[in-house]
Every structure is written in C-alpha cells, then in structure tokens.
C-alpha cells in the first residue's frame, strides 16, 4: 500500500540561476528505529540543497506501507509540519533535484519514485545519469511497461521492479549488469534501505552512524553532521550496502579497472565542509587557489572571490600571492528561489538581484577569483558591477581549466554549443566579459591538488577523455 501527497506550483523563477554547471541531485537514506526518520531526512536534504534546488521529496515505510510527499521548489518550501507528520516509519529516503534528463517543470519528474511491486513497495532516489537510457526505455516499452516521465530515474525504478531475482539483493545486482553510466542510489524497500554506487564511482556517496543503532547514507558527509550522525566511510565504487533490522550488509560488484569520481566535485559541486576521498573539500580548494597564484600572478590591491563557491579558492590565491583578501561582493543569501515573477527590467538585472558590490572597491586593482566559467553569461555582469563600484582594473583568475567538452554523467552541461571555452580563445573570452586579463588554472595544476594527482577521476569536461 502507498500513500502519496505532493504539490506543484504553476510557475517559478530562480533568481539565483547563474547558469553555472549544476549537479544533478542530492540523495540520502535513513534506517533508525524509534526515531523521526522523516525529520532526519528533511534536515539531511537541507544540507544537500546545493546539489539540487528544483524539487524535493521524502519517502518512508511503516509496517510495509509506504508514504511519500514531494513537490517543486526548495526543501523548506516543499515540507512543513503537516506533511512531515504523515511520513512515519523507521526507513526513509530523500531526494533534492536539478534536472539533467527530464524536464524540471512537472511533478512527475520529481523524486523519489515510488511504485508497488511483487516484493512490496519500491522507492528510488537517484543521483547521476544513465548513458544507455534510450535503449533501456525502448526495452521497457516493448515489454509493456508504462512510463510517466522523461527521467532516467523512472527507468531505473522500472528496471529494478522487473529485474531477475527473488530478492532485492539479486535484483539490484541484475540491474547493475545492464545499467551504464553514473548512478548513486538510495533505494527503499519494505524492510531495508539500500545504497548503491556505480562501478565507476562517478558521483559521491557515504555512510554514517546515528544514535548508536541507526544508519544514514548521503551524497556528502555534510549531511551527516547536520543530523548528528558520525561519518564512517565513503561507499566504494560498485558497492551495495543494505541497512535493516539485521544490521549493515555490504558486498561489491566488479569495479571498473579505472575509477572516475567527478573531479568537478572538488572545484564546485561539493560543499566545502564535506570530505571526499579522505580530504577536506575546503582544503583542496585553497590548494587550487594557491596553485592558480603560482601559475598566474599579477600586481593588484585586493583578491576577492565570487561568493560563496569561490571564497576558498580566493583565500588560497591571496595567501600564496601576498595580495590581501577582501570582500568585494555581498551575496543576498535570502533571495533563494522565488515564485514571484520579476518584471523585464529586473530580469535583465538578475545578477544585481544576487550580488551587491562594496563601495570601497573604488580605485583598486581587483583580482576576481571564480571556480569556473561554463557559459560565461554572468561573468560579464559581475565584472560590470565591479566597474560600476569604481574598480580601476579587474583581472579574472579561474581555479579550473577551460570547460570545452560536455558531460554525460549527470551534470547540466550537455551541449558543447553552450560552453564558451569550446569556441572562444582565452583572449576572446576576456574581451567578452570585459576584464583586463583572464587566466585559467592548468589541468596539471588541478590534478596536483586532488588525491592521487588526478588518477581515478573523470575530467572529461576539460580534456575530452571519456
């Protein structure tokens, strides 16, 4: 049996949509008998909000009965005391989403997906992107399976429901033999939560302990600390973990000989207080900024970062270069996602809705550090804000290499036509965004700051090696 509630606003405007590369999703799962797992999942999703701001959902199971609520918008907009109160049980999964495959406009593409199967309820929360989705969809449709959305996550749900095997353990392994691409999954069944990471390890996933007897899985470790869970370890590529009344069970399918954690997690996606491969993301970003200063020094009066994602990079640049770090742009952290449409004049000033320059930039030579340039659509307006505030020179330094190739593994940059560095030189981009100089971190410099000198990481968006 399944109970479903949901909400779908008619229209939305994201004033913070700066057209950066966007991660597909954040996922989490909780097994915690005697605890309010829906509330724990809510706060875990809150910590993962940076990974998806278009929809959110939570699914729980109580005595074999599944309950779900999901909607469009931020976690805080989708959930309240009333709808959390009906999400009872000791098992839960949650999801917060950006769209990569499947339009974000409709509630049908929001997750988790929940269906009834011969083995009881099945809920799926998915982070990533399957590369063989068209073939898998055709196979499902030819077998008479109906699909209600354009999302590959629904394909995963139906594949698991119809996979070979009399147990979920067997069906998950059968699914992994067929699926290709990136997937970190939180799976909810009648009596267990499963965490599954694809054999390449494209997207992160970790596990933690809560209250001595409960367990949590999440895309990032920052979600664990938010709900007072203790980080245990990262889930390995190709690993399946089962959380239930009989404890934690783990087994692995054959991993790929070459691992491929997305290197962009270190540059931008992950929260700075998370751990990846045993390293602090904040520490890695400061190293990236320091290496950037070594590769591209310039005389200036102040280093500022584009808040908040490039703050750590800018601190690293400042420490290495000796140029003082300062705040130059103040971010409006309360603008969030609004369902009030701005008029055309405000729409054109979208960046000004998000940032305000400090007046003490007047007459200064500024080094503006950003984590990346994807489409280049907001770098120009940000530079213009600094010029309007009186900056005498603006030199942009980017703490990652030029992004020239699309991603097919769950990141919103799947069209090469949209990538400014794919068809413009560095000098051309500098003229386009209006800076006095522009320089990127080298790929060698990026690799030097991450574990293993970049070995075991996907960096195809920079070098085209898929």
Q: Tell me which residues are annotated as active site.
A: 25
E strand segments, 237-307: 239-244, 247-252, 261-262, 275-276, 279-280, 302-305
Which residues, 6 or more positions from 10, have their beta carbon under 8 angstroms from its beta carbon? none
Other Cβ atoms less than 10 A from the Cβ of 16: the count is 17
DSSP state letter for 50: G
Q: What distance in Å separates the CA atoms of residue 55 and residue 253, rounded to the nearest whole number?
A: 31
Tell me the three state secondary structure of residue 10.
Answer: coil
Inter-residue contact 168 to 194 (CB < 8 Å): yes
Q: What distance in Å separates the CA atoms of residue 329 and residue 327, rounded to the nearest whole number?
A: 6
E strand segments, 17-108: 25-31, 55-62, 65-72, 91-97
Q: What distance in Å separates the CA atoms of residue 96 and residue 337, rounded to the nearest whole number?
A: 14
Tokens of 173: 């392994």
Tokens of 145: 């399976």
Q: What distance in Å separates the CA atoms of residue 347 and residue 341, rounded to the nearest whole number?
A: 9
Q: b or e along 260-285 (b: 16 or more beta carbons within 10 Å of the residue's beta carbon)?
A: bbbbbbbbbbbbbebbbbeeebbebb
Complete DSSP assignment for 307-374: TTTTHHHHHHHHHHH-PPB---EEE-TT---BSSPPPHHHHHTHHHHHEEE-GGGTT-EEEEEES--S
DSSP state letter for 200: T
Tokens of 259: 């691992």
**Best CA proximity match to 198, nearest among 102, 149, 262, 114:** 262
Q: What distance in Å separates the CA atoms of residue 461 and residue 406, rounded to the nearest whole number?
A: 6
Tokens of 83: 């709808």
Torsions phi, psi of 394, nearest 5?
-130, 115
What is the helix (H) or strand (E) element at residue 84, kind and residue range? helix 81-85
**Best CA proximity match to 292, nearest among 446, 139, 154:** 446
């Amino acid at each position: 049996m399944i109970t479903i509630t949901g909400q779908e606003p008619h229209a939305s405007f994201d004033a913070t949509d700066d057209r950066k590369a966007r991660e597909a999703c954040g996922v989490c799962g909780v097994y915690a008998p005697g605890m309010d797992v829906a509330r724990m999942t809510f706060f875990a999703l809150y910590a993962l909000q940076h990974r998806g701001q278009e929809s959110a959902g939570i699914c729980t199971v109580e005595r074999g009965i599944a309950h779900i609520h999901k909607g469009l918008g931020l976690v805080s907009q989708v959930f309240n005391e009333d709808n959390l109160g009906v999400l009872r049980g000791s098992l839960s999964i949650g999801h917060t989403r950006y769209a990569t495959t499947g339009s974000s406009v409709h509630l049908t593409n929001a997750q988790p997906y929940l269906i009834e199967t011969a083995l009881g309820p099945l809920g799926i929360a998915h982070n990533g992107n399957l590369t063989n989705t068209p073939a898998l969809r055709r196979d499902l449709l030819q077998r008479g399976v109906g699909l209600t959305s354009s999302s590959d996550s629904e394909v995963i749900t139906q594949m698991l429901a119809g996979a070979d095997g009399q147990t979920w353990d067997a069906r998950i392994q059968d699914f992994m033999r067929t699926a290709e691409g990136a997937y970190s999954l939180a799976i909810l069944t009648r009596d267990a939560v499963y965490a599954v990471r694809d054999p390449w390890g494209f997207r992160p996933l970790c596990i933690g302990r809560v209250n001595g007897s409960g367990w949590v899985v999440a895309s990032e470790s920052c979600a664990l600390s938010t709900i007072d869970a203790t980080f245990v370890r990262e889930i390995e590529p190709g690993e399946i973990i089962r959380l239930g009344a009989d404890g934690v069970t783990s087994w692995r399918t054959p991993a790929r000989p070459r691992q491929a954690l997305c290197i962009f997690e270190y540059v931008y996606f992950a929260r700075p207080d998370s751990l990846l491969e045993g390293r602090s993301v904040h520490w890695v970003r400061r190293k990236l900024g320091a290496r950037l200063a070594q590769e591209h020094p310039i005389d200036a009066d102040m280093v500022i970062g584009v808040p908040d994602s490039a703050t750590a990079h800018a601190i690293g640049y400042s420490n290495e270069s000796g140029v003082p770090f300062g705040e130059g742009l103040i971010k409006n952290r309360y603008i969030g996602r609004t369902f009030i449409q701005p008029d055309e004049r405000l729409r054109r000033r979208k960046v000004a809705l998000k940032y305000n320059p400090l007046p003490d930039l007047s007459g200064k030579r500024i080094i503006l550090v950003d984590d990346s340039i994807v489409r280049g659509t907001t770098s120009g307006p940000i530079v213009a804000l600094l010029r309007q505030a009186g900056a005498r020179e603006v030199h942009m330094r980017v703490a990652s290499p030029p992004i020239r190739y699309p991603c097919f593994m769950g990141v919103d940059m799947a069209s090469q036509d949209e990538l400014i560095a794919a068809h413009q030189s560095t000098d051309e981009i500098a003229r386009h965004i209006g800076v006095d100089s522009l320089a990127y971190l080298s790929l060698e410099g990026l690799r030097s700051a991450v574990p293993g000198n970049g070995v075991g990481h996907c960096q195809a968006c920079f070098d085209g090696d898929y």
